Amino acid sequence: MSLIVSHLHKKYGNKVVVEDLSFSMDRPGVYALLGTNGAGKTTSIRMMLGMLAKDGGEVLWNGAPLTTDSCNIGYLAEERGLYPKYALMDQLIYFAGLRGVPKEEAKVRIKSLAKRLEVEEYLYPNMFAPSQNMLGQKKGGFGVGGRVKKEKPKLAEQLSKGNQQKIQFMTALLSDPELIVLDEPLSGLDPVNTDLIRDVIRDEIAKGKYLIMSSHQMATVEEFCTDITILDRSHAVLQGNLNDIKKSYGRVHLHLKCEADAMPYIEAAGAAVISEKENEYELKVSGEEQAGGLLKTLIDAGIPIITYDLREPSLHEIFVEKVGEEHPHEV
Amino acid sequence: MKFETFSGTGKVFRFTLAQLLKSKANIRALVIVLLMGLCSTPLLSLIRGGGSGKSEPSAVYVDNQSGLSLEGLEAYLKDAGLGDVTVKIGLPEKPEKEAALRLAKGQNGLSVEIAGDASRSYWAAELTAAYLRRELLLNAGFTPEQADQLTAAESNMIYASELDKAPAPAEPGPEGTEPEEADVSNEGGLSGAYTVQLGFSVLLIMISMISVNFVIRSVVEEKTSKLVDLLLVSVKPGALLLGKVLASLIYSLLYFTCLLGGALLSRTIFGLFMDMSGVDSYLGGILKLNLSPRVLLVLIVTSVIGLLVFGILSGLSGAGCSSVEESGGAMSLCLFLIMGGYMVSIMTMAVRVPEGGLAKTLSIVPVLSMFAAPTLYMYGSVGIATVALGWLAHLALVVLLLLLAAKVYSSLIIYKGKRLSFGRILRLAIGKEAGK
């Protein structure tokens, strides 16, 4: 299977919103679409999925145009929502039905995902309803030994934002899709729920799914993705395999922590200081030679060194640098 | 138009209708409407008068001075729905308490004069007049079939004119009521057609407004719930719209059915133990219209196709809104068309039942035909061919609107910003304008 996005183009009036975007995935994995707000990520995704008419370009899945009929697609949109007044279970079965999943099969998948994402109590309220014994005293649990009061189905509006987001995430996976598009999947989630969703994403990657992910959380993208495109103001400013990109930058970021002030020696070595706090420094060096020279100088000067870490730039640092080049006064 | 454009319509329709029927507010509305229908008979009875006992007379006394044979009158009255009635020649001792008629030869021809209680005698008078007409036609050499057809047509006119000719509902005084004449000549048909047109148009406005309101509300709510992206990846925009339109249409028809069903049920139940004369004299013209299966078919098909037009229009207008607050404005186009159709149909019917070119135009032009065609067909101003031409014109408009919807609905439904007018939506569809 392969996904080829070729020369996507879109404009509204005279304003170009996506300009000549191309990338491909020839094996399962995660492709990251990164960019500033308004860079054109969501518009690109909408065009890829056929929700928005393209002004140019094509999207191929296994050599044929990508459509919801030719490919089983799971999509978590950036703008997420649920019908606020409708029962959650009805909505999930409906969304699964629209993707061609029979009702009974949908119920099985919903149950499995609900357990995984810890939202069973909202989808199966009767299983968690407090029961009453003969004396009318409430009991928790599954109502064993008591009269179970039938709970009303939960509505979307009764859930917290985080739990709604987990339900929305379920909708993207209900059809067991081949291609999963996740637009900002972790935004607004607390650390516990973030980990839950990350685990599920890991599982999908392990199953050999094709994932396209758009996110501002660089650490998450870095953890999952193999290839990236950084979009800025409608066009791609950096594209390729993440490891290759990092290698091309070289080991130029130095994290240094000393027990005494090392600033005079850093300045003398000509390293650029990115940040500094209580004798702990983030430095940008020209390469291993400059970093080694600084290390030797500090040892010769008798400055005790606690941490010395010369590494490739992180995705965050690459992103900031690339977008910063485009907008030197904005970043 | 590709069929795939609307694949998934059934799923959207079933889900939308199921949710509409599960909504507590909607269930309450249906119950209220049903109760309104159930209360209609006792309320009308209170307003229009009536008491205990059945309104249909068990015997009709006839003072026959016409010279015509009344041999078949009893069977005719029974066939016409007066129940197990018997015809007695001559007037009773106290005619003011009975259904009693006097058939006479007047200056303008035969007349049927109500000699007894007005409310009890009214329908017997109308039907006897129709019977006499039939007899005169038979005597003039018409075949029984021809006479039946002509009489049936005349009966339609009489029933339709019922509201204007209804007898006074008040309890008859000890002196009896003023005799009323049910003239054999047909002068009441015109205002009857107007009454039918008015009643039909008002009902159609009610259903249209409910349907339009539901479509716009569900489109805007879906849009503001930020569900659109999720749905559009699974279902085509045309199907998303059409499913909603059909569900809203069914719900509004259900709403109407509850109202009408409640009223009919009420009439049936209360008719068992209450005097329905006042109610019947008020509603009789509509309730006893000769609604043949073909007339009913014209009525239903024309209304449904018309409602489809309004539904799709309202869906497109709703998709141009970005908030629930804007949905009121989105109704304006449909409101204008509904009111336009209503006004034209009743104004053209006010002077006389349109005929010829005007009747054909009213029956063919979309929106206008929805309001006018059924009545014009019922009164014989247009034939089934003209009505079918109107359906084709309406269906062409439906297809055109669906094509338009398929082209712009996905763009509209993810559009954010100031509400788009229908003119701008059209410009977007033909590519003269671009918008996000």
Q: In angstroms, how far is the first alpha carbon of chain B from the final one?
A: 25
Query: How does strand A131-132 pair with strand A147-148?
Result: antiparallel
Cβ pair B226:A90 closer than 8 A: no
Among candidates B44, B4, B93, B71, which has minimal Cα distance to B277?
A: B44
Q: In angstroms, how far is the first alpha carbon of chain A from the final one?
A: 39
* Interatomic CA distance for residues B350 and B342, integer angstroms: 12
Please provide the average confidence, as pLDDT, over all residues in chain A.
88
**What is the torsion angle, in degrees rounded to the nearest 10, for the CA atoms of residue B406, residue B408, residue B412 and residue B413?**
20
Minimal Cα–Cα distance from A129 to chain B, Å? 22
Cβ pair A84:B434 closer than 8 A: no
- Phi and psi at residue B102, to the nearest 5°: -130, 120
Higher pLDDT, residue B389 or A326: B389
Residue B290 has a pLDDT of: 58
**What residue in A sits closest to B225 (Cα-Cα)?**
A81
Count other C-beta atoms under 10 Å from residue B367's C-beta.
22
**What is the torsion angle, in degrees rounded to the nearest 10, for the CA atoms of residue A159, residue A163, residue A169 and residue A170?**
-70
Residue at token pair 């739990």: A163
**What residue in B sits closest to A169 (Cα-Cα)?**
B230
Q: pLDDT tens digits, residue range B191-209?
A: 567 777 888 888 889 889 9
Minimal Cα–Cα distance from B205 to chain A, Å? 28
Residue A317 has a pLDDT of: 87
Give residue A184's region: left, alpha or beta (phi > 0; psi -120 to 50).
left
Which residues pair with residue A32 across a beta bridge? A213, A228
Q: pLDDT tens digits, residue range A58-91?
A: 999 999 999 888 899 999 988 888 898 889 999 9
3-state secondary structure at position A253: strand
3-state secondary structure at position A48: helix
Minimal Cα–Cα distance from B12 to chain A, Å? 8
CATH code of A251-311, in short, is 3.30.70.1150
Cβ pair A171:B230 closer than 8 A: yes
Cβ pair A77:B18 closer than 8 A: no
Could you state, in order of their start, the residue ranges of all structural domains in chain A?
3-71+178-246, 88-158, 251-311
* Interatomic CA distance for residues A123 and A193, integer angstroms: 17
Per-residue confidence band for A296, with pLDDT thresholds at 50, 70 and 90: very high
Q: In chain A, what are the helix, strand and coil shares in percent, each to the nearest 5?
A: 35, 30, 35
Cβ pair B410:A168 closer than 8 A: no
Count other C-beta atoms under 10 Å from residue A93's C-beta.
20
Cβ pair A98:B4 closer than 8 A: no
Residue A132 has a pLDDT of: 54
Give the DSSP H/E element, type plus range, for residue B372: helix B368-378
Neighbouring C-alpha atoms within 13 Å toward the C-beta of A176: 11
Of B225, B233, B435, the CB nearest to A12: B435
Per-residue confidence band for A209, with pLDDT thresholds at 50, 70 and 90: very high
Task: Specify the long-range contacts of residues A265-273, CB closer than 8 Å, at least 24 apart.
Answer: A265/A294, A265/A297, A265/A298, A265/A301, A265/A303, A266/A294, A268/A297, A269/A293, A269/A294, A269/A297
**What is the torsion angle, in degrees rounded to the nearest 10, for the CA atoms of residue B262, residue B268, residue B271 and residue B277?**
80
Residue B320 has a pLDDT of: 82
Cβ pair B4:A79 closer than 8 A: no
Which of A76, A94, A168 to probe the B interface (max B CBs under 10 A)? A94
Residue B189 has a pLDDT of: 40
What is the length of chain B?
A: 436
- B405: CB partners within 8 A, 6+ apart: B237, B238, B241, B242, B312, B315, B316
Minimal Cα–Cα distance from B261 to chain A, Å? 29
Per-residue confidence band for A138, with pLDDT thresholds at 50, 70 and 90: low
Cβ pair B234:A49 closer than 8 A: no
* Edge-first strand listing for the sheet containing B109-114: B86-89, B59-64, B99-106, B109-114, B181-183
Residue B168 has a pLDDT of: 37
Q: Which superfamily, per CATH, for A3-71+178-246?
A: P-loop containing nucleotide triphosphate hydrolases (3.40.50.300)
Among candidates A48, A42, A39, A32, which has minimal Cα distance to A245?
A: A32
Of A53, A84, A95, the CB nearest to B225: A84
Residue A166 has a pLDDT of: 93
Amino acid at B356: G
Mean pLDDT across A203-226: 90
* Interatomic CA distance for residues B431 and B436, integer angstroms: 13
Which residues pair with residue A194 across a beta bridge? none
Contact status, residue A87 vs residue A53, Cβ threshold 8 Å:
no
* Interatomic CA distance for residues A198 and A211, integer angstroms: 13
Which of B3, B227, B409 to probe the A interface (max A CBs under 10 A)? B227
Residue A330 has a pLDDT of: 45
- Cα B323–chain centre separation: 35
Residue B174 has a pLDDT of: 36
3-state secondary structure at position A246: helix
Cβ pair A85:B23 closer than 8 A: yes
Cβ pair B19:A90 closer than 8 A: yes
Tell whether the model's pLDDT for residue A20 goes beyond 50.
Answer: yes
Which residues pair with residue A11 across a beta bridge? A16
Of A77, A97, A168, the CB nearest to B11: A97
**What residue in B sits closest to A73 (Cα-Cα)?**
B233
Mean pLDDT across A17-38: 92
Of A13, A75, A95, the CB nearest to B229: A75
Cβ pair A12:B434 closer than 8 A: yes
Q: pLDDT tens digits, residue range A245-283?
A: 998 988 899 999 999 999 999 999 999 999 999 999 999
The two tokens of residue A192 are: 């516990």
Does the pTM exceed 0.90?
Answer: no
Residues of B in contact with A73 (CB under 8 A): 233
Mean pLDDT across A162-187: 93
List per-residue pLDDT tens for chain B, 436 residues long: 556 678 889 999 999 999 999 888 899 999 999 998 888 878 877 776 554 444 567 788 888 888 778 888 888 887 776 777 888 888 888 887 788 888 887 666 778 888 888 777 877 887 888 888 888 888 888 888 778 777 766 655 555 554 444 443 333 333 333 333 333 333 334 456 777 788 888 888 988 998 998 899 888 888 888 888 888 888 888 888 899 999 999 998 898 889 888 988 888 888 777 766 666 655 655 655 656 788 888 888 999 999 999 999 998 888 888 777 887 778 888 888 999 988 888 888 777 777 788 888 988 999 899 998 888 888 788 889 999 999 999 999 998 888 887 777 777 777 777 777 777 777 776 665 545 5
* Interatomic CA distance for residues A291 and A284, integer angstroms: 9
Residue A210 has a pLDDT of: 96
Residues of A in contact with B229 (CB under 8 A): 46, 51, 75, 77-79
Higher pLDDT, residue A328 or A180: A180
Mean pLDDT across A287-311: 93
Predicted ipTM of the assembly:
0.78
Q: In angstroms, what CA-CA distances link B208 with A91, B404, B407?
A: 28, 21, 25
Q: In angstroms, what CA-CA distances link B291 with A241, B152, B160, B255, B361?
A: 75, 11, 11, 22, 23
**Residues of A at the B interface (Cβ-Cβ below 8 Å)?**
11-13, 17, 46, 49, 51-53, 68-69, 73, 75, 77-87, 90, 94-95, 97-99, 168, 171
**Residues of B at the A interface (Cβ-Cβ below 8 Å)?**
4, 8, 11-12, 15, 18-19, 22-23, 221-222, 225-235, 410-411, 414, 434-436
Count other C-beta atoms under 10 Å from residue A159's C-beta.
18
Tell whether the model's pLDDT for residue A129 goes beyond 70.
Answer: no
* Interatomic CA distance for residues B387 and A90, integer angstroms: 42
Residue A304 has a pLDDT of: 94
